[in-house]
Amino acid sequence: MRNWKAWVAGAIMSVGLSTSVQAADKEITLCWAAWDPANALAELSKDFTAQSGIKMKFEFVPWTNFADRFLNELNSKGKLCDLLIGDSQWIGGGATYGHYVKLNDFFDKEGISMDDFAPATVNAYSTWPKGTPNYYALPAMGDALGWVYRKDWFARPEIRAEFKKKYGRELGAPQTWTELKEVAQFFQGREIDGKKVYGAAIYTERGSEGITMGVTSALYAWGFKYENTPGKYDMEGAVNSPEAVEALEFYKSLYDCCTPPGHSDAYMVANLDAYKSGQVAMQMNWFAFFPGIAKDEAVGGDKSGFFVNPKQKVAASTLGGQGISVVSYSDKKDLALQYIKWFANPKVQAKWWSLGGYSCHNAVLGAPDFPKSTPFAADFLKAMAGVKDFWQEPIYAELLQSMQKRIHNYVVAGKGTAKEALDKIIKDWTESFQDDGKL
């Protein structure tokens, strides 16, 4: 007969072990990029833990390693991430390859309506195929490419007078790319407070996505389209249209005339550094960084102003931002879904905005006081009303690297012409889509 004392001791140990395992199980890991909005989300998520008892762990990776780190994690079916805030371009692969949990049934069960979120963010961050009500993420972080300028420099009477004499208009936030270049040329090489300054910090980085995000901000303003017919992959005459050629030539001319020395491989951080150190009059960067700029000791407050991406032929902005998805390989999908439900709450979304995140919820964006809630809120609304995104195809990374190479070779290295660069992109993309069975 089994010793009853040993049996009781074993039972107690078993109970203790079970409790310990359950406690450990009440913890989920959220993966994202390492930047200010991630810190804001970590702060916000303390409320989720307080309400649910579910602890949060965070895996935040610098943007330079973000895609490699988490795409490898997904492709290897890893279990590190229970929740992942992945780039908008990942949604196609996340859905097609089974990386993300389809959320339709969960949304229906919990009464979460995608009609409560800005349409552009739902389309870009949540749906696959595009234009269908198949949801693989909840819009989490609205973002677009915008601009920041040294408002204090623009306000100086002697600078204003000289600018008006030269260009016949008041110096202010540029409304068109033509005006932006004029402002950049005006400041290029100028001495301010005993220091030589430059016109604009723009994206030129080749390794990940930088120069593509920068160039598309010009391309979209010239009316650029990836296809003549949506879904047909008929790129000839669209990608290399006369307007696209003109836009690419313009971006190169801006790089040649008006950037700081050595600004040949610059993305988010490099632009921030150039601006905060007082090197440049303007910088392009994601709206996500604007709360930090507004609070910065060196350039915050009245020293900086913000403006939406300038129009040229049309008003348009390069889309940034991400949706939050439940990773299908997680062993804690039920807990992760609880987080999604909590995060979708309008009150939580309002606090998310107040902490420096960018809510996509209509209750926040449509509030009467929202446009005046920050110095950049009104421009954020304008930007999100006209955002355009890169390919969201499952093979987007291959498409992106081709564009990075061709555009950098032309804009920075000065190889060939704009038309030749765009023609080569079409050739590369055609081969990629053929290999993927789309053509």
- Mean pLDDT of each 10-residue bin along the chain, 439 residues long: 31 33 73 97 98 98 94 97 96 97 98 97 96 96 98 98 98 98 98 97 96 98 97 97 98 98 97 98 98 96 98 98 98 98 98 97 97 97 96 96 98 98 98 97
Residue 18 forms part of a structural domain: no
Indicate whether 179 and 81 sit together in one domain.
no
Does 403 lie in the same domain as 308? yes
Q: Specify if 135 maps to a domain.
A: yes
d(CA 140, CA 315): 24
Q: Same domain for 75 and 184?
A: no
Residues 213, 279, single domain; the answer is: yes
Q: Are residues 260 and 345 in the same domain?
A: no
pLDDT of 25 reads 65
* Cβ atoms 83, 137 nearer than 8 A: no
Q: Is 411 exposed, middle or buried (0-12, 13-18, 19+ CB in 10 A)?
A: buried
Total domain count, the chain: 2
Q: Write out the residue range of the structural domain in which residue 108 sits.
A: 28-143+320-388
State whether 98 and 192 are in the same domain: no
Residues 132 and 51 in one domain: yes
pTM for this predicted structure: 0.92
Q: How many residues does the chain have?
A: 439
Q: State whether 133 and 54 are in the same domain.
A: yes
pLDDT at residue 220, rounded to an integer: 98
What CATH number did the domain enclosing 243 receive? Answer: 3.40.190.10
Residues 324 and 424 grouped into a single domain = no
Give the pLDDT of residue 131: 83
In a domain, 86, yes or no: yes
Whether residue 17 lies inside any domain: the answer is no
Shared domain check, 313 and 324: no
pLDDT of residue 6: 31
End of a domain among 388, 406, 422? 388
Cβ atoms of residues 311 and 175 within 8 Å: yes
Amino acid at 241: S
Amino acid 60: pLDDT = 98
The pLDDT score that the predictor gives to residue 7 is 28
pLDDT of 376 reads: 97
Residue 16 lies in a domain: no
Buried b / exposed e across 263-281, counting CB within 10 Å, b at 16+?
bbebbbebbbebbbebbbb
* Shared-domain flag, residues 49 and 65: yes
Query: Are residues 116 and 235 part of one domain?
Result: no
